[in-house]
Amino acid sequence: MTATPPPSSPINDFPGGPRLLADVGGTNARFALETAPGQIVAIDVLPCADYPTLAAALLSYLGSPLVAEVIGVEPGSIRHGAIAIANPVIGDMVRMTNHHWAFSIEALRCEVAFDTLLVVNDFTALASALPFLSSEQKRQVGGGAAVPGTPLGLIGAGTGLGVSGLIPGKDGWTALLSEGGHVTFSPANPVEVAILQYAWTEFEHVSAERLMSGAGIELIYRALAKRHGVVAQPLVAADISRRALSGECALCDEVIEVFCCMLGTIASNLVVTLGAQGGIYIGGGIVPKLGDRFHRSGFRNRFEHKGRFFQYLAQVPTWVITAQYPAFVGVSAILSERLASV
């Protein structure tokens, strides 16, 4: 990715003009322009709560001075765009599950006057980015080496638990439209059984996402506090992580350790389900922020700990995605493929 050029030198070198890229979550909507293959500029982050609709946020970005620096003031110079959104995308209507925005894809395309507007699930977009990540945009955890031409797996814990993968074919990769974060959680030891039993007091069905998320970190904290017979403080996930990383709270550190180990189980389940010998990639908002603490955790040991499949898992690499805006790379690839087929 490159920095935005100075105002005196607008760029409009992409065939068909610059392309809009967006990554929309429940809290923030991130926008950028792609002016040539791999040249992603004019990145801006807008709080979703500041805008009544996605269209309002998108039009605000398109009319901003930041965009004008790149394309000038000529209207209609952006004709193609792609949006990754943290939501299932089935048909034309999209109703966000973690925000109040709802929209028709076709109506939104008309409102912003684009020729092409794609809207895809954010983890489908992130999965599509995996083959394009450089060595500087990911960090390996543990050993193993990717087997060329085999599936790749993707998990990411944040507001929820995203799951996807890439399946190789003769014409390239196919990204999975998965909702794998909602599989039933499976404990791997007595501590996790106790956590699951506590979670059952709050939820009838405990999915992997209930524990592998920001709210899940808080749930694990409450469960472990009860197990140790101490009073749980009203801590949010960011507080728990901060206290764990600073070394000021042993209980918080245990929460993060348990979280990392649980993630190891879920990641290895994805490997054996997909045959993902190309490796597992870890994205989302939580793990990259844990830094070295994640690398020191029991994640990799748990990942390999699968009885007779120990040797199989030991050969599979795992990476943490460190790129700041990897979804832009994915939606760019998806949009390029669509435009090439027109």
Is 124 labelled as part of a ligand binding site? Answer: no
Is 27 labelled as part of a ligand binding site? Answer: yes
Is 22 labelled as part of a ligand binding site? Answer: yes
3-state secondary structure 137-167: HEEEECCCCCCCCCCEEEEEECCCEEEEEEE
Please give the structure tokens belonging to residue 293: 């603490």
CA-to-CA dists, residue 176 to 59, 78, 164, 167, 303, angstroms: 30, 29, 5, 8, 22
Among candidate residues 332, 271, 274, the one with its CA nearest the CA of residue 125: 332
The residues, any chain, with a CB within 8 Å of residue 134's CB and separated by 6 or more, are none
Is 107 labelled as part of a ligand binding site? Answer: no
Instruction: Report d(CA 288, CA 8) in Å as an integer.
Output: 37
What's the half-sphere exposure (Cβ side, CA atoms, 13 Å) at 173?
A: 25
Judge whether 101 and 47 are in contact, CB under 8 Å. no
Instruction: Report d(CA 282, CA 127) in Å as an integer.
Output: 10
Is 26 labelled as part of a ligand binding site? Answer: yes
Backbone angles phi, psi at 67, to 5 degrees: -70, -40
Is 24 labelled as part of a ligand binding site? Answer: yes
Instruction: Report d(CA 276, CA 282) in Å as an integer.
Output: 13
Q: Specify the residue for token string 């190891």.
A: 264
Please give the structure tokens belonging to residue 162: 């995203």
> Which residues make up each annotated binding site for ATP?
22-27
Annotated binding-site residue numbers: 22-27
